[in-house]
Amino acid sequence: MSLDLSTEAEVTWCPGCPNSQILVAFRQAVEGLVNDGKVELHNIVAGSGVGCHGKISDYLDVSTFNSLHGRIVPTLTGIKLANPKLNVVGFSGDGDSFSEGFNHITHAARSNSNITVFLHNNQVFALTTGQATTTSPKGFKGGTMPDGSINEPVNPVLIMLVMGATFVARTPASDIAKTKEIMQAAMMHKGFAFVEIIQPCITFFDTREHFKNAVYWLDAKHRKGNIDYAFKVARMNTDEKVPCGIIYQTEKPTFEELV
């Protein structure tokens, strides 16, 4: 059965923005899960923060909560606490959860809140027309740092592993089929699931060519249940090689079970 998850809201992302690929991947992920009987459509709640990614709430015909900049993660935990039957996912950005809301996402990982966070990482504040975020490379020239960013970038996957996330993955938005699969695995995971989605900003920081060459997929030799392997893969992230796939997965009691 094909599900129409679109709304009447006009899509206002830049034409060609990889956010649209993330939207398509998510709609397909939901359709697959619903058709396979794994999730009931009315039990899906999708939250988002504020930034370009946040507009996704308007484009999804499911229950949504478009929160404030940086604050979507505790909102998601609240939703899951209130009704454990809900499958709670959230879209966030590198500005939204690794600059403004850094303390929330780290604590949610630490407490293994049973929610899923998709991080649209475009390494730039785009909706405010191009400033450095915490994931921008050192030297990135943006409106607030015209001589280049003076800080080292953070590595979201590594931080999530350190904070105790029980599902950590990375995927490029350009690969819709793989992104869909990883989204489904994350949504089916019991515990805090974190997916970094590489989402080049075609207007303010176009990294499409770079990631086309740098992305590679983890193969069957990668032991995703082994934290040492996971840390090794997470630290490998360099300008040349960006490993994608499910980097780590384990099971622990969830926050919502323990509260």
Partner 1 sequence: MTDLSIKTIAIGGAAGDGIREAGINFSEFLNELGYKTFSSFDYPSLIRGGHNYARVSYALGTVHADYRELDVLVAVNAESVFIHQHALKPTARVFVEEAYMNELEGVTANLIPIPMKKIAEDTKAPQVARTSSAFGAYGYSLGIPLNRLKELADKVYANVGSEINVALVEKGYKHAEGLGVTQDVCATPEEYGEIGEVIDGNKAIAKGLLAAGLEAYVGYPMTPSTSTLQFLAKMAKKRNLKVVHPEDEIAVLNMALGMSYAGKRVAVGTANGGLALMQETFSLAGVAEIPIVIMVSMRMGPATGVATHTSQGDLQFALHAGHGEFPRFLVAPGDVEECFECAADALNIAWKYQMPAIILSDKHLSESYKSVLINEKAKGPDLGKRAVPVDGHYLRYKVTDDGISPLAFPGKKGVVVKATSYEHNEEGEATEDAAEVQVMQDKRYRKLQGLYEDFNWFPTVKTYGDPNSDVVVVFWGSTKGAILEAAKQLKTPAKFVQVLWMEPFDANRVKRELEGARVVVDVEANHTAQLAALIREKTSIEIYNKVLKYDAQPFTPSELAAEINKFI
| Interface residues toward partner 1, by CB under 8 A | 7-9, 40, 42-43, 45, 47, 50, 55, 57-58, 61-68, 71, 74-83, 85-86, 103-104, 107, 259
In whole angstroms, give the CA distance from residue 17 to residue 246. 24
Q: How far is the CB of 169 from partner 1 (least distance, A)?
A: 24
Q: In the bound complex, what is the minimum distance in angstroms from residue 172's beta carbon to partner 1?
A: 28
- One DSSP character per residue, 191-217 reads S-EEEEEE--BTTTB--HHHHHHHEEE
C-beta of residue 118 within 8 angstroms of C-beta of residue 29? no
Report the nearest approach of partner 1 to the CB of residue 256 (Å).
9
- Residues in Cβ contact with 39 at an 8 Å cutoff, skipping those fewer than 6 apart: 30, 33, 87, 187
> What is the closest distance, in whole angstroms, from the C-beta atom of residue 98 to partner 1 in the complex?
15
Give yes or no for a contact between 89 and 109, defined as CB atoms under 8 angstroms apart: no
110 or 252: whose CB is closer to partner 1?
110
User: How far apart are CB 235 and partner 1 at their closest, in Å?
Assistant: 26
- Comparing CB distances to partner 1, the nearer of 45 and 198 is 45
Q: How far is the CB of 226 from partner 1 (least distance, A)?
A: 29
Residue nearer to partner 1 on the CB measure, 36 or 40: 40
Looking at beta carbons only, is 50 or 182 nearer to partner 1? 50
Please say which residue, 63 or 250, places its beta carbon nearer to partner 1: 63
Q: How far apart are CA 73 and CA 89, in angstroms?
A: 9
Nearer to partner 1, 62 or 176 (CB): 62
Residues 6 or more apart in contact with residue 102 via CB below 8 angstroms: 134
In whole angstroms, give the CA distance from residue 92 to residue 198. 12
Question: Six-digit token pair at 204?
Answer: 């303010």
Tell me which DSSP letter residue 125 carries. B
Return the biggest CA–CA distance within the chain. 53
